[in-house]
Amino acid sequence: MDYSENIIETIGNTPMVKMNKIVSEIDALVLAKYETFNPGNSVKDRMALQMIKDAEDDGRLKPGGIIIEGTSGNTGMGLALVAIVKGYKVICVISDKQSKEKMDILKAVGCEVHVCPTDVAPGDPRSYYSTAKRLAEETPNSWYVNQYDNPSNTKAHYLTTGPEIWKQTDGKVTHFVVGVGTGGTISGVGKYLKEKNPDIKIWGIDTYGSVFKKYHETGIFDDNEIYPYVTEGIGEDILPKNVNFDIIDGFIKVTDKDAAVYTQKLAKEEGMFLGNSAGTAIKGLLQLKENFSKNDVVVVLFHDHGSRYVGKMYNNEWMKSMGYLDC
């Protein structure tokens, strides 16, 4: 018989898939690291597992403990799956711009969900960062995960995602392209790949309304870069400790409209039913095309599944209302 002991054991070892039509203007081989094959349908299962393991090991998380996190949904799902198997309760604090599907999914796996306004500063007591921290202070036997600054987030990708990409490309990867939110994925994979071969280029995909690109280029944290945006999962109005700017070669920004349009294109042209950050990442990769040549192997990572966006990027009424469809 061939089976896993529990759902946690199925995390990781995701497939790598060649991109075809959508990258026809690029000479290089483009491969997608396809993270929706994780049991929670996103890359975040990897870091959820690592963060819980490390917190158990050093006593921050105790038996029967309550896990509290500010999450746009995918981390909450990953934490929930691991918590169910290991016997913990999860409270998720989410901002109101996140899709309804993400909130419903969290409830389906037993999370308690608190919704906070998006358009307030991170330091505002109503923000989801502040609310998560406050709940953790008020709740006995709780542990505040803090995926932004928790080093186990980057570690998960250094220990699993990076080595998988190296192995699946027989060490031939030349570029890694990925959307940046907490920074865990880019920093963990980037560090592993650069240790293997310092010539590998690491590209971060950012969004308009986020601070990363400007900070990387100038070292200035510019408040003028911060304004509300639609793209989900990518970009920040803070500098998370998990973003290791030193291993990143460059950032490129993608508009909300392009991100939404390319999310649809991935489904229709490649049969890849993926989330909004995948549309952002593939459009960013196309914007970077001058950097790729014939013998390059470009790996792009797709974070999450399309089912979480059926009411938005896959709904043409919503697309029209946003001005993202021309007819």
Which positions are catalytic?
44
Quick one: which segment of 5-13, 24-32, 184-192, 221-229 binds ligand PMP (CB under 6 A)? 184-192
Cβ-closest position to ligand PMP: 233
13: left (phi over 0), alpha (psi -120 to 50) or beta: left
> At CA 182, angle to CA 179 and CA 185, rounded to 5?
55
Of 12-20, 112-120, 174-182, 256-264, the segment contacting ligand PMP by CB under 6 A is 174-182
Please pick, from the candidates 304, 306, 313, 314, the single residue that binds ligand PMP as defined by CB under 6 A.
304
Residues forming beta bridges with residue 202, ordered by sequence position: 176
Question: Which amino acid does the sequence have at 260?
Answer: A
Asked if 182 interacts with ligand PMP (CB under 6 A), we say yes
Q: Do the Cβ atoms of 298 and 26 come closer than 8 Å? A: yes
What CA–CA distance (Å, rounded) separates 322 from 248? 32
State the minimum distance, in angstroms, from the CB of residue 191 to ligand PMP.
Answer: 13
Q: How far is the CB of 212 from ligand PMP (least distance, A)?
A: 10
- Contact at 8 Å (CB) between 66 and 143? yes
Question: Is 301 a binder of ligand PMP (CB under 6 A)?
Answer: no
Both tokens of 90, joined, read 């999860």
Contacts of 24 (CB under 8 A, 6+ apart): none
Number of residues assigned to the chain: 327
Residue 75 CB, shortest distance to ligand PMP, in Å, is: 7
Question: What are the start-end ranges of the E strands in the chain?
Answer: 16-18, 29-34, 66-70, 89-95, 112-116, 142-144, 175-179, 201-207, 250-254, 297-302
Site string for ligand PMP, 256-275 (x = CB under 6 A): -------------------x
The reply to whether 277 sits near ligand PMP by the rule CB under 6 A is yes
CA distance 175 to 198: 11
Q: Is 146 left (phi over 0), alpha (psi -120 to 50) or beta?
A: left
Query: Is residue 282 within 8 Å of residue 30, measured between CB atoms?
Result: no
- Single residue of 130, 160, 174, 185 touching ligand PMP by CB under 6 A: 185
- What part of residues 214-233 is at the interface with ligand PMP (CB under 6 A)? 233
Indicate whether 184 belongs to the interface with ligand PMP (CB under 6 A): yes
Which of residues 186 and 211 has its CB atom nearest to ligand PMP in the complex?
Answer: 186
**Interaction pattern, residues 36-75, with ligand PMP; x per rule: CB under 6 A:** --------x---------------------------x-x-
What x/- string results for residues 69 through 108 when contact with ligand PMP is judged by CB under 6 A?
Answer: ---x-x----------------------------------
Residue 183 lies near ligand PMP (rule: CB under 6 A)? yes
Q: Which residues form the interface with ligand PMP (CB under 6 A)?
A: 44, 72, 74, 179-186, 233-234, 275, 277, 303-304
